[in-house]
Chain A
């Protein structure tokens, strides 16, 4: 292929020709599925407010979907290798934003300071931070040509730990855990030695122990983390979400109660249903079959992601794709697991489905990056 170097127009055409239709279809179908679920989860409460448009949340999410698709195209257009260059700059900027969130510039919602208003847009830097950390780590690890040393592992961990701690103190424990998942996925794919990973795990354990001893982890966080083991221990508070969401999913049965017909969904029994607990709408209204459709779309998405990582010609592309897959897989598994009572309750949205503009745009940008790597796999 190098023989045709210099013919920019060919390469661009070629890139478009090598679009991954499966990946694109999975992403768009998931986002549309999400719009339906958000409508179901919110239309009753919005009606109860009076004159409000019952589709208000859905429409707002639809606007973000369009915005996200544009962002995806932009991200896919410029050669992903540029990201390797700009990754440290983006990383630095993100750390500044995360610090700004903690100042009075940040907005407080539900007891956590996660949002910031920039140019009239309210967004969540921690969502963007995940993608930035993926790029940063991929850039760093792809530079190492030989086998990773323990020092490399420490440096990579430090790169992930900085935003992780800042997000943890927002507090947003779920998202901060996502950084750990990204780090682990990338270290494995980059070829870190098992014993180095073991050392890292020990260090992490020690850090967690220290966090509990010093009392950095709040009681309510512990309650939420452990409530899934026995929701009946505190059914009114920590266990309530789990109990209600499990009931919603379980009562859906094989075929579901029918769209907009779930009583748990329509009568507001599941809190935060359009955001973190959106999977319960699938479970209740579309049942096991509907959930399988959703999971199949995710499986397709993740499979295409791993395939792209394998096909990539350079290490940066491989690591970028693997990092994105790790990030998404972690969120999918923890979010769905939490709604079914097999994972602790942490504020992690379901990628491409949950209501929330920043997360949707960021995830579509991540899909754009995957496409980018795929399109340029022959270069």
Chain B
């Protein structure tokens, strides 16, 4: 081998080595200079763990500062199903420790409100001893975690459950109420917990912890302190709320003992609602819905039984807030509104007199339909006020027919005016899921016929439709809250307020950060004189009209009450019992609307409920619940 050739070959080797070194340097340049930010971030996230420090959620109190919802810490055991290799075995093991049947634990795990990657609370208020056992046998309980958790605490139990709402966990794919929300964090469901989520929910803090490759904690780095949520003060008055819930429950109980002749059965009275409102500003003082539920069941995952209690139709959907979500024909409670509309349209006068026969027929009606008053006796010719006092249907039939006849000239004047009273639209109350009711008209009737011809066989608006509407029947639907608001407008001289349950938002030490001011959203087109005369007539309802029996012994001379009964007919059901009232009638400070579904006559069940509430409101002697007599 010659010197020169070997030298050349060695240079080849040197060239290869130089190339290799250049490749290494290039790669190094890329990693350490061009991509350094990414790798530094990766190294950071490698050894730094972000451990959330949950923020205490804001408390909720009534208008006088009585706590309705507060927080307490509780030892909670959670299970993350995705980490559990053998669920059945785990349930048996956990059951032995916690002394809870495995089936119940399993059902809590199956709560549809949670995803399998979330930590589902299966037991709250677990004994310290049991937590210690779990800690010592961690390997035997895969997917199980425990620790002190802030849970909601309800000093007054189920009081105002529908107004308050409850807490759930943010599900996968669910829109976040706000940016920082993490899956698995508590989120308000229903009631003000949902409506005021952004205020109640604070900002979680984070503890940054340094860990090694095995995840072992090496030390603490820094912390961002949590920001606690704001407290919410409600317009609800705890006393009135309690009175409303008790009176409603009592009314329902008593109604079940009433025999209903038309159906040949006892009244079903499965459900009901009460709204109490300050007519001067729209503040809701009480809101009750029956049946109710205990918000404490939501502290853990729901068992099948609990879930069914809340969702089974036979249990009448206790989660529904019937005060804002229940839609019913208002029946005769609509008459004061129709009376004002008839005066405005010129079909009636506050000084006028009208015949009140037991029957009413439309001239030239080929179907020969007979429209009956609620009683068979002829009242003769009665005053405008008396028509309201004894709730004479045949007087209002005439107004309804007038509205029908002049619809070509004035358009659908009755519907327009009912909408002016706040019907057929959301009240704007600060609670989720509100229903808007319905004021039907010719266009609606033909539209629903187009959509579902079998259910609505007739596309034409007949005189009968207007006649039905004049006594709050037919396809007209209202919510108890809408009725309370319209009576509030009647009482306050014609101002339609946006109702609200939230009064103000404040810090834990009471500094106010946000106030809910009264908001006027409409003004009625009626003169004070007309409204005053109608109020006067409604006082007569309570003193010597359809509501008199229920208010027997009530000091109406010192606290005059103006109210209206209603018995609304629904196809295939027993009638709903309505009563809406305001007091004191000369300067109303409170409006109360009550309904008992399939509770018979308004005078019989709903009016006594309202009476009990007013007794509490005005610090009167509370009389034992007594049914009224069956009239309208």
Contacts and interface: CB of A to CB of B under 8 A. Distances in A.
Interface in A147-178: none
A336 B25 CA distance: 10
Interface string A286-306: 011001100100110011001
B35 A315 contact: no
Contacts of B211: 267
Given A185-B13, A189-B6, A325-B17, A291 B28 contact: yes
B28 A283 contact: yes
B42 A333 contact: no
A76 B212 CA distance: 46
Contact of B43 (A251, A254, A268, A336): A251
Nearest to A330: B20
B308 interface: no
Contact of A340 (B12, B20, B27, B40): B27
A263 B47 contact: yes
A132 interface: no
A291 B12 contact: no
A340 B32 CA distance: 10
Contacts of A378: none
Interface stretch (A27-35, A99-107, A241-249, A359-367): A241-249
A253 interface: yes
Interface in B29-65: 29, 31-33, 35-36, 38-40, 42-44, 46-47
Contacts of B1: 145, 190-191, 315
Nearest to B18: A299
A187 to B, nearest CB: 10
Most buried by A among B16, B27, B44: B27
Contact of B32 (A291, A298, A310): A291
A306 B24 contact: no
B370 interface: no
Contacts of B213: 244, 267-269
A329 B29 CA distance: 20
Interface string A223-263: 00000000000000000000010111111111000000001
A247 B28 contact: no
Contacts of B35: 250
Contacts of B129: none
A283 B213 CA distance: 18
Most buried by A among B24, B33, B36, B38: B24
A313 B131 CA distance: 81
A11 to B, nearest CB: 22
Given A306-B14, A342-B27, A250 B42 contact: yes
Nearest to A266: B212
A204 interface: no
Interface string B256-280: 0000000000000000000000000
A318 B6 contact: yes
B137 interface: no
B10 interface: yes
Contacts of A288: 28-29, 32-33
A61 interface: no
A333 B13 contact: no
Contacts of B40: 250-251, 253
A247 B46 contact: yes
A285 B44 CA distance: 15
A248 B43 contact: yes
B31 A250 contact: yes
A309 interface: yes
A306 B13 contact: yes
Given A250-B32, A264-B43, A340-B24, A191 B13 contact: no
B8 to A, nearest CB: 10
A315 B212 CA distance: 54
B25 A292 contact: yes
Contacts of A302: 17
A173 B25 CA distance: 26
Most buried by A among B10, B24, B32, B46: B32
Contacts of A189: 6, 9-10, 13
Interface in A87-103: none
B135 interface: no
A342 B16 CA distance: 17
Contact of A287 (B16, B25, B32, B218): B32
B179 interface: no
B23 interface: yes
Most buried by A among B27, B43, B218: B43
A378 B441 CA distance: 118
Given A267-B213, A295-B21, A340-B28, A251 B13 contact: no
B39 A250 contact: yes
A247 B39 CA distance: 5
B211 to A, nearest CB: 7
B36 A188 contact: no
A188 B9 CA distance: 7
B7 interface: yes
Contacts of B7: 310
B214 interface: yes
B217 to A, nearest CB: 11
A254 B214 contact: no
Contacts of B210: 263, 267
Most buried by A among B5, B10, B25, B213: B10
Given A247-B42, A263-B47, A253 B27 contact: no
B20 A251 contact: no
Contacts of B25: 292, 295
Given A247-B46, A306-B14, A333-B20, A252 B6 contact: no
A72 interface: no
Contact of A310 (B10, B31, B38): B10
A322 B21 contact: no
Contacts of A358: none
A2 to B, nearest CB: 18
A340 B25 CA distance: 11
Most buried by A among B13, B16, B38, B218: B13
A268 B31 contact: no
Most buried by B among A190, A246, A253, A295: A253
B23 A250 contact: no
Contacts of A250: 31-32, 35-36, 38-40, 42-43
A292 B29 CA distance: 10
A347 interface: no
Contacts of B32: 249-250, 252-254, 283, 287-288, 291
A280 B12 CA distance: 30
A315 B2 CA distance: 9
B10 A306 contact: yes
A248 B28 CA distance: 12
Contact of A336 (B14, B24, B38): B24
A337 interface: yes
Given A189-B6, A333-B24, A269 B29 contact: no
A340 B28 CA distance: 8
A336 B20 CA distance: 11
A336 B26 CA distance: 12
Contacts of B24: 295, 333, 336-337, 340
B28 A325 contact: no
Given A188-B12, A189-B13, A267-B210, A254 B42 contact: no
A124 interface: no
7 contacts: A145-B1, A188-B12, A189-B6, A250-B31, A264-B43, A268-B212, A302-B17
Given A190-B1, A250-B32, 13 more contacts: A188-B12, A247-B39, A250-B42, A254-B33, A264-B47, A267-B212, A284-B43, A288-B28, A288-B32, A302-B17, A310-B10, A318-B10, A326-B13
A-B pairs, top 10 by smallest CB distance, nearest first, are A250-B39, A251-B43, A267-B212, A250-B31, A268-B213, A288-B32, A253-B36, A251-B39, A269-B213, A251-B40
Interface of B: 1, 5-7, 9-10, 12-14, 16-17, 20-21, 23-25, 27-29, 31-33, 35-36, 38-40, 42-44, 46-47, 210-214, 218
